[in-house]
């Protein structure tokens, strides 16, 4: 019997070529309900990740809250590198009576370095309060609608965003009115 041999020139299923990431249950629910997003590859723990545009974040988060994601476990940001995007991320958990295996999803919003703005989710999850302030303080991401968006770690007169990868540290910082 002759064995079938796959050659590199064989036709590939077009869906396999264009699939960005396996679609998880949250992405499926969002698509079913008409929310624009992009499914990303799951993280190293297998948690589903979804990319959202900044202007769609609030409606999508409101819908996820109504869907049962009642806990904002973590909100943060990171810098992809000089000249690249800043990312604001949200780790949401659906807490229910059975807390041994809660459903989780991570949302990511990719923002331009110049004038990075995204709506605040403070009004959905109060836990975002200081977390959004820290991201503002360290990366310069403006969370529109936040009730008290001001520096939380650095002095009010600090210039720049210390956790951006293109940040240049000043040679010194003069402490004023320290006592």
In a domain, 2, yes or no: no
Considering Cα of 15, then 21, then 25, then 29, what sign does the dihedral take?
negative
What single DSSP character describes residue 88?
A: E
**Res. 20: pLDDT tops 90:** no
Burial class, 24, CB count within 10 angstroms (exposed 0-12 / middle 13-18 / buried 19+): buried
Give the tens place of pLDDT for each residue, 129-174: 999 999 999 999 999 999 999 999 999 888 899 999 999 887 766 6
In the block, tokens 């994601």 appear at 69
Between the CA of residue 56 and those of 26, 52, 60, what are the distances in Å?
16, 7, 6
Q: What is the pLDDT of residue 100?
A: 80
Task: Indicate the number of domains in the chain.
Answer: 1
Nearest 5 degrees, angle CA 117-CA 120-CA 125?
A: 155
d(CA 133, CA 148): 8
Q: Answer whether residue 39 is part of any domain.
A: yes
In a domain, 30, yes or no: yes
Residue 63 lies in a domain: yes
Would residue 117 count as lying in a domain?
Answer: yes
Question: Once rounded to an integer, what is the mean pLDDT over residues 95-112?
Answer: 89
CA atoms within 13 A of residue 138's CA, in its CB half-sphere: 16
Q: Region of 20 please: left (phi>0), alpha (psi -120 to 50) or beta.
A: alpha
pLDDT at 18 over 90: no
Q: Is residue 46 part of a domain?
A: yes
**What domain range includes position 106?**
20-144
DSSP code of 54?
A: G
DSSP structure class, residue 167:
-
User: Can you give the pLDDT at residue 110?
Assistant: 98
| pLDDT tens string 52-99 | 999 999 999 999 999 999 999 999 999 999 999 999 999 999 988 777
Residue 172 lies in a domain: no
How is residue 81 written in tokens? 């590198």
Q: Is the pLDDT of residue 128 over 80?
A: yes
The per-residue pLDDT for 176 is: 59
For residue 35, the domain's CATH number is: 3.30.460.80
Question: Looking up tokens 């990868």, which residue turns up?
Answer: 165
Q: Quick check: is 156 in a domain?
A: no
Give the predicted TM-score (pTM) of the model.
0.82
Beta bridge partners of 86: 79, 111
Q: DSSP per residue over 118-156, as a string?
A: EE--TTT-TTHHHHHHHHHHHH--EEET-TT-S-SSS-T
């Amino acid at each position: 019997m002759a064995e079938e041999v796959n050659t590199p020139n064989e036709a590939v299923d077009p869906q396999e070529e264009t699939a960005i990431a396996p679609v998880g249950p949250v992405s499926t629910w969002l698509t079913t309900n008409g929310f624009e997003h992009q499914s990303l590859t799951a993280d190293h723990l297998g948690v589903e990740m979804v990319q959202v545009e900044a202007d769609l974040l609030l409606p999508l988060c409101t819908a996820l809250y109504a869907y049962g994601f009642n806990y904002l476990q973590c909100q943060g940001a990171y810098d992809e590198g000089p000249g690249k995007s800043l990312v604001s991320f949200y780790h949401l958990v659906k807490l229910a009576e059975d807390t041994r295996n809660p459903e989780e999803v991570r949302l990511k919003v990719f923002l331009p370095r110049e004038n990075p703005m995204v709506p605040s989710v403070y009004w959905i999850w109060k836990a975002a309060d200081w977390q959004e302030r820290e991201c503002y303080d360290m990366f310069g991401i403006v969370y529109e609608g936040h009730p008290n968006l001001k520096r939380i770690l650095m002095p009010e007169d600090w210039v720049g965003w210390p956790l951006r990868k293109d940040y240049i540290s000043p040679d010194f910082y003069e402490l004023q009115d320290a006592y």
